[in-house]
Amino acid sequence: MLGEDSVASALASGSIYVDHTTNSADLVRRVHGILAKKDVGMVDAPVSGGMEGAQARDLTLLVGGDAEVLRRARPVLDAIGKTVLHVGDIGAGNICKVLHNAAGFTRALAMMECLTVGVKAGIDPGVLVEVFQKCALGRSFDIQVRLPSTLFKGNFDPARFALGVAAKDMGLAAELAAANDVPAELMELCQAQMAEAMSRGWADRDSSVYLTLPEERADAPVRTSE
């Protein structure tokens, strides 16, 4: 992008550079600043959907940048992806993308930890995968339904699924892991967070209330207007 005979050196005034890489937001902003001096517009637009999505044009583009630059680039972006989301200023696309990926990778590791416990406890892996697919986890129930009505609104009463019950279930899962000699670090971490929330007297509140602990430590509550 930069340096002698680079992309930047060849871009004409008035053109637009669309960056589809998943990258550091700081680097994206640096490139944006260099291109702005050449009167070149830029948006960062990392994609979500993988190779399968690209082949079927079923991609989501997470676009950061000026709204007017996005308007001009929109016909090209619409031709590439099914959904184009303007998520904020330059660099915001990459912030959203790396956090989405981190959440996905962490969830996959948690699922694999639980699947491993299940297999060692004697459950057929195909059966357990089907259970995960057809129950709340596979339907992304938390992010689609529960959290929008509880955590994201700061509404933890009345309990839809009480923290005390959730903590009981986590304890049973941790006991099962220990009984089958399966290391379960993520379960233990989750259990510890729930225990701290329980110690504050939140047992009868909605189970999502323990998720306010990371918010509290960062002083950054996650609330939406929808």
Domain edge (last residue) among 39, 74, 93: 93
The answer, yes or no, to whether residue 175 has pLDDT greater than 80, is: yes
Q: How many Cα atoms sit within 13 Å of 30 on the Cβ side?
A: 7
**Do both 206 and 120 map to the same domain?**
yes
Residue 2 placed within a domain: no
**Do both 102 and 213 map to the same domain?**
yes
Residue 22 placed within a domain: yes
The structural domain count of the chain equals 2
Q: What are the tens digits of pLDDT across the range 121-134? A: 999 999 999 999 99
| pTM for this model (two decimals) | 0.91
CATH code: domain of residue 30: 3.40.50.720
**Do both 79 and 53 map to the same domain?**
yes
**Do both 89 and 108 map to the same domain?**
no
Q: What is the pLDDT of residue 57?
A: 87
Say which of 37, 38, 97, 168 is annotated catalytic.
97
Beta pairing class for 41-44 and 16-19: parallel
Cβ-count burial of 215 within 10 angstroms (0-12 exposed, 13-18 middle, 19+ buried)?
A: middle
User: Once rounded to an integer, what is the mean pLDDT over residues 96-111?
Assistant: 97
Q: Domain range for residue 203?
A: 96-218
Q: Is 97 a catalytic residue?
A: yes
User: Once rounded to an integer, what is the mean pLDDT over residues 12-35?
Assistant: 96
CATH code: domain of residue 145: 1.10.1040.10
Q: What are the tens digits of pLDDT across the range 27-64? A: 999 999 999 999 999 999 999 998 898 888 899 999 99
- 50 vs 164, which has greater pLDDT? 164
Domain edge (last residue) among 64, 93, 122: 93
**Do both 115 and 193 map to the same domain?**
yes
